[in-house]
Structure 1
Amino acid sequence: MTAILAVRDLHVAIGRRGHAANVLRGASVDVEPGEVRGLVGESGAGKSMLGRAILGLLPANAVITAGTIAFEGRDLLAMPEPERRKLLGRRIALIPQDPMTSLNPVRRVGAQIAAVLSHHLGLSKRQARARAGELLAEVAIREPGRVLDLYPHEISGGMRQRVLIAMAFACNPSLIIADEPTTALDVTVQRQVLQLVERLRQSHGAAILFVTHDLGVVAKICRTMTVLHAGRVLEDGMTADVLARPRHPYTRALLAATPRADRPAEALRPVPPALIESLWSEAHRLDRLADAGLPS
């Protein structure tokens, strides 16, 4: 099957105090149509930066120095900016991490969803509001007509996340970048949101790149997974295979550090500092080779 998203050998650097710090070092990821791929790793691994690069939302001081990002067979990096922007929200959507900072606090919920529909689908104000109500009902928000007229601070965190999910699926995109969408939620609400995302994925047929540091979430909803550290892909494959037979020491260390409900008495083992040090040493070695123009 042809991948709907194909990231190849992507390098991203961030300028800082007169020099560049590499945050992605030759990362490659495929997402097939309709699948959920987990992108996992500890904080600072480069997960969110990879998602931002796909969306074209890198910080102002970040630059892509090498690689390609192909979406539906077209290289996003070679696409004119106005054309690429038309894809965002329409064909490629984002479920961000923090709903409180992602929603406009001075605009009503319904107006924010309607703005997406009007901009991308050309719906009239009345049509957009009606469709916004339908979307809220689709994400299991009670009394959607009432919620449309509320401000973000007047609804719970779980409801705000559902609003963002409704906005992401509003235009039936073929790819969604979900950037740790359950991090700010309690365990019960997290489970509800994961079930909701999976139900919507099946009904809409969208592919999802699910960015997370939680291997438990990956095990529940991701068919495939990619393990990232220091901007490098260390392991990639079917989720069941990677979790049952991890090949890389870092993946094995992450699994050993993950609490298991089926083995509550088992002691957790932190990722060994020596392993982290060796991974960073290898990353810096690759940086030096790249700076010298030598192959890795």
Structure 2
Amino acid sequence: MMRLACLALVALASPAVAQDHSHHMPPPAAQPATGHEGLDMGSMGDMDMSAGHEGHDMSPGEPTGTNLPAGNAPAPAAPMDHYADRQFAPAAMAEARHMMMREGGGQTMALIMFNIAEVQARKGSDGYRWDGEGWFGGDINRLTIKTEGEGARRGGVEAAEIQALYSRAIGPYFNLQAGIRHDFRPDPSRTYAVVGVEGLAPYWFEVEAAAFLSDKGDVLGRFEAYYDQRLTQRLVLQPRVELNLAAQDVSENRIGAGLSSAELGLRLRYEITRQFAPYVGVSHEAKVGQTARYARADGDDPKSTGFVAGIRIWF
């Protein structure tokens, strides 16, 4: 009887236990919505995958892009206007372009330089000498004035000349020059037509060559060259050569045909500033040929060597 009673109690308590623990049971798993219910996936293989290229025939044999044949249409005309003129007054922009060109190399400039301005100590004939030039103009066209001469301490000016030249650039480094030259000394004075070149030769040699035709028909020539060898930032050694030539004897000016005279010099300068540099050096001058014979006939020594001291200046 006891056994039957226990079984009855268990049967009565079972629904309650099941009801009390029902909230601990996990809910049934949710099924994800596919959005394609009823879609026949097998039909996707029949879809046209080229729908994004409708209207484009990608046949491999047809040229495209840079493979297209060249056209024969004329090229468009190059624009001739200035786009800034669309926003600003054309007159103001024209003035601005003019100023830009001037600042980029079209401006007017000027220079005066004396490469030689010195006193000379020679045996029995101390003297002085100058050689300089100045110019005014631009990069292409210039007016150039040159002067050179020499004299003795007691004898006054022995040779003096001035040249007025039109200078035209014929390249990045050379100018073609033409004009007139007038000699004040020696007597009688002469006036010459001048044509020549000057500029910067390879290896930084400053060179100048000129031919002169006088009002008497005399033909002379001159060649000058010098080189600035920088020893330090301020110390510069300058070798220099000058050759004078004549096509014929000019007895009244004591000039003989051929190579008439030559000067070799070596000057060492110290640049206190780039524009102002005192120097010392040595100079050897020699008259040759018929010119030397003229000098001996006049009682002069055709050769002389002396020490020089002077100032190289430009501004």
Structure index of larger Rg: 2
TM-score normalised per structure 1: 0.24
The higher-RCO structure (CA 8 Å, 6+ apart) is 1
The structure with the largest helix share of the pair is 1
